[in-house]
C-alpha cells in the first residue's frame, strides 16, 4: 500500500492550508520534512515544526499532527500539516512529499481507504461526500444523519416486517406436512400495505432531500417592466439587479445564491421577454428561454395593475409546462379585476408588492412548498441520494406486485417473487438477507420437523 | 504395493449415495466394486421409510432425468404416493412416497445385481491407500488390498458413529451395525478437516398394539404421481398413514427427565438438524405448544413395524416406552426398536470441487452424509454425481458438474462446496434462487440431455423423452393459438366454468393465467377444440411455463442486478487481514475460498454489508 497526499483545504489563498498524508510511510515522510529522523510525535497532539527544503533551508513553519493507525480517519498512519495558506507554499510542500515517496491522492481516495479499512461503509462514505459538498445547515444535518446510518436504521422495521412475512409464506411452502398456523392473507396484505407506506414516505422525502443536496434553480421570468428585478432584489435581500423604469433594463441573466428556508437556492433574474429591439436584448431573451428550460421552478412576474398582454399569456403558457408560481406584482396598487379572474383558475398565484415587500413571505413559501419545508435541523430523515431513491421506488413497486398477487389468491411462490425482490433492493441499503437467514428464522419461529 | 484385486472404481458404502455412485460408474463402463458391510442391507432406509417431499422430490426427479436409479426403485417400492402442495403452484409441488422398507432394499439390490461391470463385495474398508496426491485403492479389515483409480466414500453415519440412548452410548454405524472407526481415522490421517454432526431417529412400534381408531387416517393420492419419467403405473397397493398428537402431560414428563437426555446433559457434542428436532427439542424450544403432531407410518406390507414420525428421541429406551403410553391411541403400544441419536464424523465439503472430487487427493470422491448432508435424496444425487465423475477420471472424460440455475443438485453442491455446513444440510426450495424454473415437471427438459450424452439414458427412455417434449411443444403452441370468441360455443362453456366475463375473445393461455382456473378446466377446453393426444402431466408442464413466464423474467432482472458487480476482480495478492471490517472468521473463510471476483465473495455466508462494501471498494480501487 502506498502513501497518498493531498491538500485538504479548498484551493486559493487562505490563512491556513492543510496537507494530509495517509499510508505506511506517512511518519517517515514527516521526519524527512522536518529533517529530524528521530522525531516521534505523540498521536493526536499538535506540535509546531519547521518544514525544510532538501537543502535544509526553511520552507514554512507548520502545525503538525500525527494519527497512529488504526485510530485515524483512514485507519492508516496519517499526518496532517497545517501550513500557511499560500498556494505556492502548499504546492512546494506537496512537491516535497512526493519527492519523498508519497503519491498524489485521487479524488475521494482518503474516504475510499477509510471504507476499505472498515472505518465506514459505502453509504457513510456517500454521506461524507454530501457533508463536504453541503451548501446549507439543513443539508449538513441530513448528511450527518446518514453518516450515522440513519437511513439503514429507518428501514430496519420495514425489512424485519418483510422477513417475518417471507418466513410465514416460505414455511407454508416448505413444510406442508407440519402443523403450522394458517396463513392470514388479509393480515399479510395489511402489513404489506403498511410497509409500502413506510417505504413510499421515505421515498417521498427525496424531492426535499435532493433540493437540499443539489440546491434548487429558481428563475424569475416575465415580460419587460413588470418588476422582475425588484422581486429578485427582494428575494435576494440586496440591491444587486439594476432597477429602472425603462423596460428592458435587464439585458442579461444574473444569478444569486442564497438559502431560503434551509434550501440552497440559485435565483436567476432574466431579461424580459418581448420582441427584441436590438441584438443585445435578443441574446438576453434567448438566454431567458435557456434559463427557463434549466429551472426547477419558475416565478412568473405579472403586473397586476394592468390587463394581461399577449406577451404575459405567452409566458404563462410556456411556464405552465414546468413547476411554477405566478407572482402578481404591484399589489400596492389596485389590481385589474380581469387579471385576477383570468389567473386564478390556471396557476398558483401569490399577490406581492416588490415595492413594499408585502406578500414576499407568501412568495417564499410558495417557492419552497414543492421541495418540502426544511426550516431547521429538526425535520425528519430525508433521502438525498438518487440511488437510494431508486431502490426505495423499486422496493415499493415489487411489494405492490406481491399485494396484487395476494389479492388474486396466487400461490405463495408467486407472491414471494415480489417480496424477495424487495428484500434484495432494501438489502442494497441495509445489507443482504440470505436464504440461510430466512431458514434460520423459520426454524426459530415454527416447530418444524415431521 | 501388492493388491489382491483391482477395479477402476471402488464405492465404499451401499446406502443411497453408494448405490447411485456404483450404478452410474458401472453403466458408464468402469469396472466398479461396491464394498459394503452387509450386502443384505443395500439401499437400507436408516430412518424414515419415505422418499421425496418438498424439494427432495425435485432431487429424485433430477436423479431420474440424469439416468439414476432412485426414482425407479421408489416407484416399485412405494406404498403411499402423495403429490405435496397440490393446491399450490407447480414449482413447489413435489412427489413423496412412503416406501416398503424391505421391498426398497430388495429392488435396489436387484437393480445393482443386474448391472453389468458392477461387483458387490462385502467387507469393511479400514484404510485409504494413497500416493501423495493420488488415490491408489483401499485396504479391507480382513487384510485384502483392492486397487482402483477412483474411490467414492459414501459411508453415511458410519464414520466414527456413536449411538446415544439416555446415558448409554456405544459405537455403531446404525443401531445393530458396527461403526467404521479405522476409515474415519484414515481420513483424519490424510489431513481432511473433520467435524461432528448428530442426527436421530424415533422408535418403531408394533402395529398390533396400536389403537388405530384414535388417529386420523391420511389417504394416498387416488392418482399416484410416480417419481420416474419412465414409470407409467404405480403397481404397489397403496396404504393409509395416520396422524395423532402428543399431550401436555407427555411434555411435562419430558421436561422433568431432561437430565436423562444426552442432548441436554452435554453428552452429545455434534450439531443436529434444526428442521428435524427431537421431541425433547420440540418440547423445550416451543414450550408454549400444547401438542406436537405425530405420524404413524407403516413400514411395509409384510411387517408390523410402524415408524412414529415426529418423535425422534435419544431419551432412555424405558422412558420412551412410558412416554408413548401418554399418547392417545398408544396407551398399549409396544416398542420394537427404540429411538436413538447418533453422532458421526463428516468431512468439511469445502475441500471438494464441483465434481465432488477432493482437491488434495485426485481420484477420491465424497458423497452423502460424509459431506455433512442429511436425507436419502441429498445423498443419492451426490452419489450419482460422484459416480459419474469417478468413471470420468478413469476414462479420461471431462468432469461433469451442474449449475445452480439448472438444477437443485447444482444448488446443493454449490452450497456445500462454497459455504460448508453448520448443521446437517437439507435441501429446501428457498435455497434455489431460480425456484420458479426448477420444477419437478421439467426436470427431464433440464437434465435428460445430459444423461443421454453421458450414456446413462437408454434408447427407450430417450425416445419417450422426445415424444413428451414434442407433445409439450405442441400443447404450448395450441395454448397460444386456441382463442375463444364470444360467438364460439366453447366461450360460453369457459365463461360458465370461470364464472366471470372474459372480454371479446381470450386465448387458452390467457385463460389459464387467470387465478382459480384449474388444469382440469383447461384440459376440458383443450380437448373441446383440439384433437391432440396429450397427457395431464404434459399439459401441466406446458401450463407451468406459461404461468411463470412473467415472474421468471422479473426475477432474472433482479438477479442480474444483484450480480452487476460480480465480474469485478479481487486482486490475487490482497491481504484480507488488512480489511478491519471483517471478522476473524470471515478473514479465514476468505483466505480459504480465495474469491477471485466480487461475485464469488458475495456468496460467502455471513459477510456483512459493510464488509462487502469494503471489499468492493478495494476491488474497484485496484482494478
Cβ contact A119–B275 (<8 Å): no
**Does residue B73 contact residue B113 with C-beta atoms inside 8 Å?**
no
B218-228 pLDDT per residue, tens: 999 999 999 99
In this complex, how many residue pairs, one in chain A and one in chain B, have their CB atoms less than 8 Å apart? 138
Contacts of A436 in chain B (CB under 8 A): 419, 605
Distance from CA of A172 to the nearest CA of B (A): 9
Helix or strand holding residue B335 (H, E): strand B335-337
Query: Distance of alpha carbon B338 from its chain centroid, rounded?
Result: 26
CB B30 within 8 A of CB B117: yes
Confidence of residue B605 (pLDDT cuts 50, 70, 90): low
Best residue in A109, A174, A445 for a mutation probing chain B (most B CBs within 10 Å): A174
pLDDT single digits (tens) A159-203: 999 999 999 999 999 988 888 888 899 999 999 999 999 999 999
Predicted complex ipTM: 0.87
DSSP-H helix ranges across B573-623: 584-593, 598-602, 609-622
CA nearest to B547 within chain A: A414
- In B, minimum Cα distance to A414 occurs at B551
Per-residue pLDDT, B7: 98
pLDDT tens, residue by residue, B126-177: 999 999 889 999 999 999 999 999 999 999 999 999 999 999 999 999 988 9
Least confident of A153-162, A341-350, B95-104, B358-367: A341-350
Q: Which residues of A touch B610 (CB under 8 A)?
A: 118, 120-121, 431
Question: What CA–CA distances, in Å, run from A175 to A4, A116, A433, B191, B298?
Answer: 56, 42, 21, 39, 21
Specify the pTM.
0.79
Please list every residue in chain A whose beta carbon sits closer than 8 Å to the beta carbon of residue B286.
Answer: 447
Contact criterion met (CB < 8 Å) for A116 and B617: yes
Mean pLDDT of all residues in A120-139: 66
Bond preceding residue B485 cis, omega within 30 of 0: no
| Cβ atoms of A21 and A33 closer than 8 Å | no
Give residue A387's pLDDT.
Answer: 75
Looking at the predicted structure, is the pLDDT value of residue A377 above 50? no
Q: How far apart are CA B360 and CA A380, in angstroms?
A: 57
C-alpha grid cell for residue B531?
384433437
More confident residue, B443 or B498: B443
Judged by CB atoms within 8 Å, which residues 252-291 of B form the interface with A? 274-277, 282, 285-286, 289
Residue B86: its chain A contacts at CB < 8 A? none
Q: What pLDDT digit, counting tens, does each position of B372-408 carry? A: 999 999 999 999 999 999 999 999 999 999 999 999 9
Q: B383, B14 in Cβ contact below 8 A? A: no
Mean pLDDT of B62-70: 98
The pLDDT, as a whole number, for residue A373 is 57
Question: Is pLDDT larger for residue B271 or for residue B371?
Answer: B371
Q: What average pLDDT score do residues B327-345 get?
A: 96
Residues A230 and A249: their CA atoms lie apart, in Å, by 12
Which is more confidently placed, B429 or A384?
A: B429
Contacts of A173 in chain B (CB under 8 A): 54, 85, 88, 92, 429-430
> Using CA atoms, how far apart are residues B193 and A278, in angstroms rounded to an integer?
88
> What integer pLDDT is reported at residue A276 of this predicted model?
65
pLDDT at B75: 98
Q: Half-sphere exposure (CA, 13 Å, Cβ side) for A220? A: 36
Residue B122 has pLDDT above 50, yes or no: yes
pLDDT band at A256 (very low <50, low <70, confident <90, very high): confident
Long-range contacts (CB closer than 8 Å, 24 or more residues apart) made by A231-237: A231/A299, A231/A301, A231/A327, A231/A329, A231/A352, A231/A354, A231/A363, A232/A256, A232/A267, A232/A269, A233/A354, A234/A352, A234/A354, A234/A357, A234/A360, A235/A260, A235/A267, A235/A360, A235/A363, A235/A364, A236/A267
Give the Cα separation of B270 and B281 in Å (integer): 14
Picking from A237-251, B74-88, B586-600, which range would have the lowest pLDDT averaged per residue?
Answer: A237-251
Smallest Cβ–Cβ distance between A431 and the set B435, B561, B608 belongs to: B608
Residue B420, chain A, CB below 8 Å: the answer is: no
Spatial contact of B408 and B432, defined as CB atoms under 8 Å apart: yes
Write out residues 38-97 of B within 8 Å (CB-CB) of A. 53-55, 84-85, 87-89, 91-92
Average model confidence (pLDDT) across chain B: 91
Whether the pLDDT of residue A73 is over 60: the answer is yes
Q: What is the pLDDT of residue B572?
A: 81
Structural contact between residues B61 and B9, judged by C-beta atoms closer than 8 angstroms: no
| Chain B residues within 8 A of A450 when measuring between CB atoms | 293, 295, 309-310
Interatomic CA distance for residues B243 and A216, integer angstroms: 68
Largest CA distance in chain B: 85
Higher-scoring residue by pLDDT: A111, A245: A111
B206: exposed, middle or buried (Cβ count in 10 Å: 0-12, 13-18, 19+): middle
CA distance B345 to B284: 27
- List of chain A residues whose C-beta atoms are within 8 Å of the C-beta of residue B88: 173, 411-413
Helix, strand or coil, per DSSP, at residue B218: strand
Query: B57, B80, B92: which to substitute to probe chain A, counting the most A Cβ within 10 Å?
Result: B92
Judged by a CB distance cut-off of 8 A, whether residue B431 touches chain A is: yes
Answer whether A449 sits within 8 Å of B580, measured CB to CB.
no
What are the residues facing B569 on neighbouring strands?
B597
- Beta-carbon contacts of B132 under 8 Å, excluding residues fewer than 6 positions away, are none
Provide the 3-class DSSP secondary structure of residue A257. Answer: strand
> Between β-strands A16-22 and A78-84, what pairing exists: parallel, antiparallel or unpaired?
antiparallel
Check whether A283 has a pLDDT greater than 50: yes
Residue A378's pLDDT is what?
44
Residue B370: alpha-carbon gap to chain centroid: 14
* Separation in Å, CA A74 to CA A67, A114, A133, B579, B604: 10, 4, 19, 12, 26
Q: How far is A406 from chain B (nearest CA, A)?
A: 10
**What ranges in B456-608 are assigned the alpha helix state H?**
459-481, 489-498, 508-513, 519-529, 536-562, 584-593, 598-602
Reported confidence tier of residue A248, pLDDT bands at 50, 70, 90: low
Give the bridge partners for B11, in sequence order. Answer: B34, B152
Å between A316 CA and nearest CA of chain B: 43
Question: Which residue, among A22, A74, A435, would best test binding to B if mutated, counting the most B CBs under 10 Å from its CB?
Answer: A435
Measure in Å the smallest separation between the Cα of B326 and chain A Cα atoms: 19
Q: Give, for A81, the enclosing helix (H) or strand (E).
A: strand A78-84
- Please, which residues 567-596 of chain B have a Cβ atom closer than 8 Å to chain A? 578-582
Contacts of A122 in chain B (CB under 8 A): 613, 616-617
Q: What is the pLDDT of residue B560?
A: 77
Between A272 and B141, the more confident residue is B141
| Res A9 pLDDT > 90 | no
Which residues, 6+ apart, have CB-to-CB distance to A204 below 8 Å?
none
Q: How confident is the model at residue A376 (pLDDT cuts 50, 70, 90)?
A: very low
Spatial contact of B148 and B135, defined as CB atoms under 8 Å apart: yes
Mean confidence (pLDDT) of chain A: 83
| Cβ-nearest to B579 among A116, A122, A432 | A116
Identity of the residue in B88, B293, B516 whose CB atom sits nearest the CB atom of A178: B293
List of residues 6+ apart from A361 with CB closer than 8 A? none
Q: What is the mean pLDDT of residues A125-140?
A: 66
Please tell me which of the candidates B285, B551, B611 has its beta carbon nearest to residue A414.
B551
Mean pLDDT of A68-91: 90
d(CA B142, CA B121): 12
Distance from CA of A415 to the nearest CA of B (A): 10
Is residue B618 less than 8 Å (CB to CB) from chain A? yes
What is residue A311's predicted lDDT score, i.e. its pLDDT? 85
Cβ contact (<8 Å) for A118 and B611?
yes
Confidence band for B350, pLDDT divided at 50, 70 and 90:
very high
Average pLDDT over residues B365-377: 97
Q: Chain A residues with CB inside 8 Å of B612's CB?
A: 432
Question: Quick one: average pLDDT of A80-85?
Answer: 92
Among B4-8, B315-319, B431-435, the range scoring the smallest mean pLDDT is: B431-435
pLDDT of residue B463: 97
Q: Which of B54, B430, B602 sits opposite A435 (nearest CB)?
A: B430
Interface of B with A in 215-254 (CB under 8 A): none
Q: How confident is the model at residue A238 (pLDDT cuts 50, 70, 90)?
A: low
Q: Which three cell numbers stand for residue A149?
A: 446510518
Mutate to test the interface with B, among A73, A128, A147, A413 (most CBs of B within 10 A): A413
Give the whole-angstrom CA distance, residue A191 versus residue A185: 10
Amino acid at each position: 500500500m502506498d502513501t497518498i497526499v493531498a491538500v485538504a483545504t479548498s484551493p486559493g489563498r487562505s490563512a491556513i492550508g492543510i496537507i494530509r498524508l495517509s499510508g505506511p510511510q506517512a511518519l517517515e515522510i514527516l521526519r524527512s520534512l522536518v529533517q529530524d529522523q528521530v522525531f516521534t510525535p505523540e498521536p493526536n497532539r499538535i506540535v509546531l515544526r519547521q518544514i525544510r527544503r532538501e537543502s535544509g533551508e526553511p520552507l514554512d513553519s507548520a502545525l503538525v499532527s500525527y494519527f497512529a493507525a488504526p485510530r485515524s480517519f483512514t485507519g492508516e498512519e496519517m499526518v496532517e500539516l497545517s501550513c500557511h495558506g499560500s498556494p505556492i507554499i502548499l504546492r512546494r510542500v506537496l512537491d516535497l512529499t512526493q519527492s519523498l515517496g508519497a503519491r498524489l491522492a485521487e479524488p475521494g481516495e482518503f474516504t475510499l481507504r477509510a471504507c476499505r479499512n472498515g472505518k465506514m461503509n459505502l453509504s457513510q462514505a456517500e454521506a461524507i461526500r454530501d457533508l463536504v459538498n453541503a451548501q446549507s445547515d439543513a443539508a449538513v444535518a441530513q448528511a450527518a444523519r446518514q453518516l450515522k446510518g440513519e437511513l439503514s436504521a429507518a428501514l430496519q422495521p420495514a425489512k424485519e416486517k418483510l422477513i417475518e412475512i417471507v418466513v410465514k409464506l416460505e414455511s407454508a411452502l416448505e413444510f406442508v406436512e407440519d402443523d403450522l398456523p394458517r396463513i392470514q392473507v388479509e393480515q399479510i396484505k395489511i402489513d404489506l400495505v403498511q410497509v409500502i407506506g413506510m417505504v413510499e414516505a421515505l421515498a417521498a422525502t427525496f424531492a426535499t432531500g435532493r433540493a437540499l443536496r443539489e440546491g434548487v434553480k429558481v428563475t424569475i421570468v416575465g415580460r419587460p417592466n413588470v418588476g422582475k428585478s425588484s422581486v429578485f432584489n427582494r428575494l435576494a435581500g440586496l440591491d444587486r439587479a439594476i432597477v429602472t423604469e425603462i423596460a428592458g433594463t435587464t439585458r442579461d441573466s444574473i444569478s444569486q445564491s442564497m438559502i431560503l428556508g434551509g434550501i440552497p437556492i440559485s435565483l436567476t433574474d432574466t431579461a424580459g421577454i418581448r420582441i427584441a429591439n436590438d441584438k443585445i436584448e435578443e441574446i438576453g431573451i434567448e438566454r431567458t428561454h435557456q434559463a427557463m428550460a434549466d429551472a426547477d421552478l419558475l416565478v412568473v412576474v405579472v403586473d397586476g395593475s394592468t390587463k394581461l398582454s399577449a406577451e404575459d399569456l405567452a409566458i404563462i403558457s410556456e411556464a405552465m409546462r414546468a413547476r411554477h408560481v405566478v407572482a402578481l406584482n404591484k399589489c400596492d396598487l389596485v389590481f385589474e379585476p380581469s387579471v385576477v379572474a383570468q389567473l386564478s383558475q390556471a396557476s398558483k398565484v401569490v399577490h406581492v408588492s416588490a415595492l413594499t415587500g408585502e406578500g414576499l413571505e407568501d412568495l417564499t413559501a410558495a417557492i419552497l412548498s414543492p421541495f418540502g419545508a426544511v426550516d431547521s435541523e429538526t425535520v425528519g430523515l430525508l433521502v438525498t441520494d438518487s440511488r437510494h431513491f431508486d431502490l426505495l421506488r423499486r422496493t415499493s413497486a415489487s411489494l405492490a406486485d406481491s399485494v396484487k398477487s395476494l389479492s388474486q389468491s396466487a400461490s405463495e411462490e408467486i407472491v414471494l417473487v415480489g417480496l424477495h425482490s424487495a428484500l434484495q433492493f432494501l438489502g442494497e441499503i441495509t445489507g443482504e438477507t440470505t436464504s440461510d437467514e430466512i431458514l434460520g428464522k423459520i426454524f426459530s419461529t415454527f416447530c418444524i420437523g415431521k | 504395493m501388492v493388491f489382491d484385486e483391482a477395479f477402476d472404481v471402488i464405492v465404499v458404502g451401499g446406502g443411497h449415495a453408494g448405490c447411485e455412485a456404483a450404478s452410474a460408474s458401472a453403466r458408464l463402463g468402469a469396472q466398479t466394486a461396491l464394498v459394503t458391510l452387509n450386502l443384505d442391507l443395500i439401499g437400507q432406509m436408516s430412518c424414515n421409510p419415505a422418499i421425496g417431499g418438498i424439494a427432495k422430490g425435485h432431487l429424485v426427479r433430477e436423479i431420474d432425468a440424469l439416468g439414476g436409479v432412485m426414482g425407479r426403485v421408489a416407484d416399485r417400492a412405494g406404498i403411499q404416493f402423495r403429490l405435496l402442495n397440490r393446491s399450490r403452484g407447480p414449482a413447489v409441488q413435489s412427489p413423496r412416497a412412503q416406501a416398503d422398507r424391505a421391498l426398497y432394499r430388495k429392488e435396489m439390490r436387484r437393480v445393482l445385481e443386474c448391472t453389468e461391470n458392477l461387483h458387490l463385495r462385502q467387507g469393511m474398508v479400514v484404510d485409504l491407500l494413497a500416493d501423495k496426491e493420488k488415490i491408489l485403492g483401499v485396504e479391507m479389515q480382513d487384510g485384502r488390498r483392492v486397487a482402483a483409480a477412483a474411490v467414492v466414500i459414501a459411508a453415511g453415519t458410519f464414520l466414527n458413529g456413536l449411538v446415544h440412548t439416555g446415558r448409554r452410548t456405544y459405537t455403531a454405524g446404525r443401531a445393530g451395525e458396527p461403526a467404521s472407526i479405522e476409515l474415519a481415522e484414515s481420513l483424519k490421517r490424510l489431513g481432511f478437516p473433520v467435524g461432528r454432526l448428530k442426527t436421530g431417529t424415533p422408535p418403531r412400534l408394533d402395529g398390533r398394539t396400536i389403537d388405530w381408531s384414535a388417529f386420523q387416517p391420511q389417504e394416498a393420492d387416488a392418482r399416484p404421481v410416480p417419481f420416474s419419467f419412465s414409470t407409467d403405473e404405480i403397481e404397489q397397493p397403496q396404504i393409509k398413514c395416520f396422524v395423532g398428537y402428543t399431550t401436555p402431560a407427555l411434555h411435562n414428563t419430558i421436561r422433568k427427565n431432561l437430565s436423562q437426555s444426552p442432548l441436554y446433559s452435554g453428552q452429545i457434542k455434534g450439531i443436529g438438524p434444526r428442521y428435524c428436532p427431537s421431541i425433547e427439542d420440540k418440547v423445550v424450544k416451543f414450550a408454549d405448544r400444547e401438542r406436537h403432531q405425530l405420524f404413524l407410518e407403516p413400514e411395509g406390507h409384510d411387517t408390523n413395524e410402524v415408524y412414529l414420525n415426529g418423535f425422534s428421541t435419544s431419551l432412555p429406551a424405558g422412558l420412551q416406552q412410558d412416554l408413548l403410553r401418554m399418547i392417545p391411541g398408544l396407551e398399549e403400544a409396544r416398542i420394537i426398536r427404540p429411538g436413538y441419536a447418533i453422532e458421526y464424523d463428516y468431512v468439511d465439503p469445502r475441500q471438494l470441487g464441483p465434481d465432488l472430487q477432493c482437491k488434495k487427493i485426485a481420484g477420491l470422491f465424497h458423497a452423502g452424509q460424509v459431506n455433512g448432508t442429511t436425507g436419502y435424496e441429498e445423498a443419492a444425487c451426490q452419489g450419482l454425481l460422484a459416480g459419474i465423475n469417478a468413471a470420468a477420471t478413469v476414462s479420461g472424460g471431462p468432469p461433469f458438474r451442474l449449475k445452480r440455475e439448472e438444477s437443485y443438485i447444482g444448488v446443493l453442491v454449490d452450497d456445500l462446496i462454497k459455504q460448508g455446513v453448520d448443521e446437517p444440510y437439507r435441501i429446501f426450495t428457498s435455497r434455489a434462487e431460480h425456484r420458479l424454473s426448477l420444477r419437478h415437471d421439467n426436470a427431464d427438459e433440464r437434465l435428460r440431455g445430459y444423461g443421454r450424452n453421458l450414456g446413462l439414458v437408454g434408447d427407450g427412455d430417450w425416445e419417450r423423452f422426445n415424444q413428451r417434449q414434442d407433445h409439450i411443444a405442441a400443447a404450448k403452441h395450441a395454448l397460444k393459438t386456441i382463442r375463444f370468441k364470444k360467438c364460439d360455443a366453447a366461450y360460453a362453456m369457459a365463461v360458465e366454468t370461470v364464472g366471470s366475463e372474459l372480454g371479446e375473445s381470450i386465448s387458452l393461455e390467457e385463460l389459464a393465467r387467470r387465478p382459480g382456473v384449474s388444469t382440469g378446466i383447461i384440459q376440458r377446453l383443450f380437448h373441446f377444440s383440439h384433437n391432440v393426444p396429450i397427457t395431464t402431466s404434459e399439459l401441466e408442464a406446458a401450463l407451468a411455463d406459461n404461468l411463470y413466464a412473467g415472474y421468471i423474467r422479473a426475477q432474472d432482472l433482479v438477479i442480474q442486478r444483484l450480480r452487476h458487480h460480480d465480474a469485478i476482480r479481487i486482486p490475487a495478492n490482497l491481504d484480507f487481514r488488512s480489511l478491519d471490517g471483517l471478522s476473524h472468521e470471515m478473514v479465514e473463510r476468505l483466505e480459504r475460498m480465495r474469491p477471485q471476483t466480487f461475485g464469488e465473495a458475495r456468496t460467502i455466508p455471513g459477510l456483512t454489508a459493510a464488509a462487502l462494501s469494503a471489499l468492493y471498494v478495494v476491488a474497484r480501487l485496484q482494478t
